Each structure stands twice: as structure tokens, then as C-alpha cells.
Structure 1
Amino acid sequence: MSIIEIASHRGGAFLWPENSLLAFRHALGWAAEQVEFDVHASRDGEPVVIHDATLDRTTDGSGPIATLDWAEVRRHRLRGTGGEHVPSLAQTAALIGPSPQKLRMEIKAGVDGWPYAGFVQRCTEVLGPLRARTVLMSFEAATLAEAAALGGFEQLVYLAETRPMRALRPVDAVALCRSCGATELGVHVSVADEALRDALRESGLRLSVWGANHASSIARALALGVDVLATDDPPLAIAMRAGGKAYPR
């Protein structure tokens, strides 16, 4: 029985400021297998580690990331970190790289909802050899298709929006993954079930969930036997996984 991998979502957003080097340093101290984070492109194409397409919610700045060069973005500080600046992918990779944990990177779309042109290639250049330890995720099929063409990633994850997933048959979910070269489907924990898990497994694909942030949803994901559980509370998920119950895989 293989282990259900735990990913510290945004570094563990319940406990530390999301997508900060502070959070990632804490996350690396726990027995999780992956550190999850998000990237957007600056105006000059630098991969910036931040969830939103704008600076407004998590920093002392405002406006879209894509309207600023990296030299401008890096001057802004993240709220709650005691003065840490917005990190780049290069800084994040340098921090996680020496650890045994995998990089779980979601490539986001811009404020207009469109993928950043040529951004996957730029991310691979920054990652270098760490690409082989990187799980690349996206809600954008075009982004995943570009990554599949480049090759060399640990896994490629198609992230499915929750409302459309409720209307899809498991066979349709498999087809979505196949269409863009994804090796894993990521869904909100509330829509994951045995039928979806089994259809993916029978097709040689993996199932991951996000939104497993409290005891009840973590227990549901563990009992379902997903491949990866992304959580904002990694210490809780790690403790529950270690609780002695054998979960099916």
C-alpha cells in the first residue's frame, strides 16, 4: 500500500502567510511530500510566486502582476511576514531544492483569464534539473499541453473547476486528462468519490484533491485513498495520516 502524499497548500495557508518563503521554510520542517505554490508572470516574464493575478490581497502593493517588471514586483512586501518580499520561482526553487520534498507548482492565468504566452518554457528554464521533481498544475488545458510537449515533469495535473465536475461522468474526466496530456486530475475534495478514483486508476491516471483543510475533509480524502491531499493545515493532515488506520489505495 503506497502512501497518500500530503502537499502543503500555498505552504500551509492556515498557519503561515501564503506563498511566502516563511511558509515554505515551515512547511519543509514537516513530514509532507510536496510544497504547493502558485506562479504568475511579471511584465518581463519572470515567474512570481503569488496566488492572485494582482498584488492587492496579500502584499502592500496593488495592481496586476503582469503590468510590472520583476524589479518592481520584488520591492513589495507580503503581509504578515515581518517584511519579507514577494518571492520569485527562482528563490522558491532554491529553498525547496535541497529538501526531499517535491515542488507542486500551479501555473495561473492572467487577470484576463488567458494563459501567459511562453510562460511554461520560462518556468522550465528557471527550474532547471528540478523540473523532474516538479508537479505542474493548471486549470488551463493549453498550459498543460505545452508542458506535456516539453516533457520532463514529475506529474502534470489538470485542475477541474468544481461546478463543471459535478456534471461530468468519470469517463469524461479521463478524456479531459487525455486531451491535454495530464497524468493526474485535481478536484475539490467535495467532488471526489470512488467512481472517479476507480475510473482514473483504471486508465493509469492519478487523483488529487484540494480543500481538505479540516478533520472531516481530511478524513474523507484519506479514506478515499487519493494519491495527493493538498491542505492548508499540513500538521493536522500528517497527524491524521499517521493515526494508524490503513487507508485503501
Structure 2
Amino acid sequence: MRFIGHRGMPAVFPENTALGLRRAADRCDWVEFDVRRCGSGEPVVVHDERLDRVLGLDRPVAETPLDEIRARYVDDSDQRVPTLPETVVAVPEGTTVNVELKTSGVTEQVVETADAVGNETVVSSFSATILREVNEVSALPLAPIVADADAWDDALALAVEVGAEYVHPHYDLVFASPERVDDAHDRGLEVNAWTLRSPEPYDRLSEVGVDGVFVDDPAYAGR
């Protein structure tokens, strides 16, 4: 089973930072991080729509220029919010990069950055529109993300439509209906389940045959 360092392992390091992603690459097969368009147009690595939680700044990412974002530190650490190119450079070659694309408007920058590095790059998203946009301009591997049981069939249909290689369900969906893993495999999709925040679910995920698991700390899965 592959291990995917979710947001640069926020149980151990400041989330979505170059430091966390470098360390995640030491212990995981893939690293995953979130990308949004900031107010001055650059793709930055931030999970939330707003900057309150990680920077203590009461503003949306989309309305905040890069210089203001870079003026603060993540979670009172010595790490700043990186841009997409800075993040990819921090990941050792040979480690697969999973970009969770949160917003439109940076598709071409994501594709250009992926083409410029040696790492395999997977683009995942909750948004069907975003995955279709990426599929129109590149051959990057894609992965619909799904959290809602009612959206499972639509996620599989979208995956087939855009030629995705993966589907990323919340692990509760897998536990509730383990046959979903077989459904995905029957369509040629590998299943990466998210996100372990304690050790307990790991053995169950292994038993139902998922191909990969997102972890906040690889120790949750015995690494």
C-alpha cells in the first residue's frame, strides 16, 4: 500500500510547508498539498479559503496578495506559505506529488510546473469543473475526491470521463461499503483513502484492498 503524506504531515510539522513536505517525502511514497490562487494571481499552497487558521489573518486567500501572505509565518513556526514552484522544488525527485487543486484560475500554472520537474504529478480535486479543465490541457493523472456517499457514482463516472487513474474517497465511504473498492478497480481506478489521523483505521483499510492511504503522520500506519 502506498503512503501519502497529507499536507506535509500536520500532526508533526507546520502544514503545507516546504519543511513538512520534505520530511513527508522521507517517509511516504507520495506527498499531497493544496493549491489556491491568491489575490495577486500566484498559486499558493494553502488549504482553507481564508487565512485565519494558518496565518492569523482575517482575509480570504483569493483577496490577499502574495507579499502579504509571505509577510507572516505558518502556525507560529519559522515557515512561510510557499508558492507552487517553491513547493515542488522542495520535494525530492522520485516522490510523486499530489496537487489538490482548490480553485480555478491556476490550471495552466499547475501544468507548466508539473512539466518542469521530474516528479510524477497527480492532480486531485472535489471539483468536476477543475478536473475537466486540467484534462483539456494536459495528460496529467487525475483523481476525483469524494466525501459524500451520494456522490460516489458521479465521482466514478467523472473519473471515467476524464480518464482519471485514481479516485480518492474518505475512508468512511470505504468502511461503509467495502465493495466500492471493487467498483473502482473494475473501472481501472486505484483507490487512495483519506485521511488517517490515528492508527486504528489502517488495518481495516488494508483488509478491504485500498491501494493507498493519506496520513497526517506516517507513524499512524507503522512507518
TM-score above 0.5, yes or no: yes
Q: Which residue number corresponds to residue 40 of structure 2?
A: 44
Superimposed CA distance per residue, residues 183-207 of structure 1 (whole angstroms, 9 cap, x where no aligned partner) = 2211110111431111111111121
Following superposition of structure 1 onto structure 2, how do residues 1-249 of structure 1 map, counting pairs within 5 Å?
Answer: 4-30=1-27, 32-81=28-77, 83-96=78-91, 98-109=92-103, 116-117=104-105, 119-130=106-117, 133-153=120-140, 155-165=141-151, 168=152, 172-192=154-174, 193-239=177-223
2 CA distance for matches of 1:174 and 1:85?
Answer: 36
TM-score by length of 2: 0.90
Runs of 4+ in 1 over 4 A off after TM superposition: none
In structure 1, the gaps of 5 or more residues are 110-115, 240-249
1 CA distance for matches of 2:118 and 2:143?
Answer: 14
Superimposed CA distance per residue, residues 50-90 of structure 1 (whole angstroms, 9 cap, x where no aligned partner) = 11111110114230111122222222211142x22111111
2 CA distance for matches of 1:58 and 1:138?
Answer: 21
In structure 2, the gaps of 5 or more residues are none
1 CA distance for matches of 2:128 and 2:98?
Answer: 17
Q: 1:73 to 1:85 in 2, by over 3 A?
A: same
Number of residues of Structure 1 aligned to a counterpart in Structure 2: 221
Superimposed CA distance per residue, residues 22-58 of structure 1 (whole angstroms, 9 cap, x where no aligned partner) = 211221222x110111011012321100111111101
2 CA distance for matches of 1:77 and 1:206?
Answer: 36
Superimposed CA distance per residue, residues 136-156 of structure 1 (whole angstroms, 9 cap, x where no aligned partner) = 110000110111122232x20
Shift of 1:127: 3.1
Contact 1:144 1:181 in 2 (8 A): no
Equivalent residue letter for 1:14? A
Equivalent residue letter for 1:149? E
Shift of 1:7: 0.2
Superimposed CA distance per residue, residues 193-231 of structure 1 (whole angstroms, 9 cap, x where no aligned partner) = 431111111111121110222222111212222122101
Contact 1:40 1:49 in 2 (8 A): yes
Equivalent residue letter for 2:24? A
